[in-house]
């Protein structure tokens, strides 16, 4: 598992209170127990804080799974002056 996925998985485990949760790039709100709209807001906020990035609402609306979130995090981290 890559380092970025491990970091995001730790955030999900904490927010969802599921210490044994295993995420894959294909994981989504339908396949992860307790990943509801409130949890999603908390996950996004925690990810932004952890990686010191900000997501636009339009970016978040297009995400379909954890893999797309990881790709977006990497893109944000690569931006100069983030």
Residue 15 burial (C-beta neighbours within 10 Å; 0-12, 13-18, 19+): buried
**pTM score of the predicted model:** 0.93
Question: For residue 81, what is the DSSP state?
Answer: T
Number of domains the chain contains:
1
Q: Which domain holds residue 55?
A: 3-78
**Is residue 31 a contact partner of residue 73, using CB atoms and an 8 Å limit?**
no
What digits encode the pLDDT tens for the residues 13-55? 999 999 999 999 999 999 999 999 999 999 999 999 999 999 9
């Amino acid at each position: 598992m890559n380092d970025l996925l491990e970091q995001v998985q730790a955030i999900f485990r904490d927010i969802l209170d599921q210490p044994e949760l295993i995420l894959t790039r294909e994981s989504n709100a339908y396949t992860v127990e307790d990943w509801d709209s409130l949890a999603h807001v908390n996950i996004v906020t925690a990810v932004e804080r952890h990686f010191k990035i900000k997501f636009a609402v339009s970016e978040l609306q297009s995400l379909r799974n954890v893999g797309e979130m990881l790709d977006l995090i990497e893109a944000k981290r690569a931006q100069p002056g983030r």
